[in-house]
Amino acid sequence: MPQLRTPDGRYLIVRGRLWRTSNPELPEAERQRLVDALMDARRAVKAAKQADDADALTQARRDVDTAKHALGERGPVWWTDGTPDYNRHLVRNSPYADWYAEQAQPRT
């Protein structure tokens, strides 16, 4: 099943929770470079946990956070219309609640 995105493209919905998407204005090459860095950092988190290396884990988590900020998934929002950020909020507690409820309705 494909990931559901809000109509404005700002969020993915995973298990009823909103997760901010990457900034769509990023040039493709830059976005791919940042996604690659994020995946490398996530692999480093896994390796540090397996090695029980607290210092490496701290650095790897910092690298994940840096990549997510650069992608626009964390930190200041990438849109400019003043709409608040609902990242990590439950959809049912957001302005997207009615739209999301409609998505669950069977189509006839």
Q: What is the pTM of this model?
A: 0.86
- The angle that helices 54-71 and 28-51 make with each other, rounded to 10 degrees, is 160
Q: Say whether both 17 and 35 belong to one domain.
A: no
Domains in the chain: how many in total?
Answer: 2
Q: Say whether both 33 and 66 belong to one domain.
A: yes
Three-state SS for 96? coil
Beta bridge partners of 14: 17
Q: Say whether both 58 and 88 belong to one domain.
A: no
More confident residue, 63 or 107: 63
Q: How confident is the model at residue 103 (pLDDT cuts 50, 70, 90)?
A: confident
| Averaged pLDDT score across all residues of the chain | 94
Half-sphere exposure of 14 (CA within 13 A, CB side): 7
Contact 72, 26 (CB under 8 A): yes
Contact 87, 20 (CB under 8 A): yes
Q: Say whether both 15 and 29 belong to one domain.
A: no
Domain region containing 12: 1-21+79-108
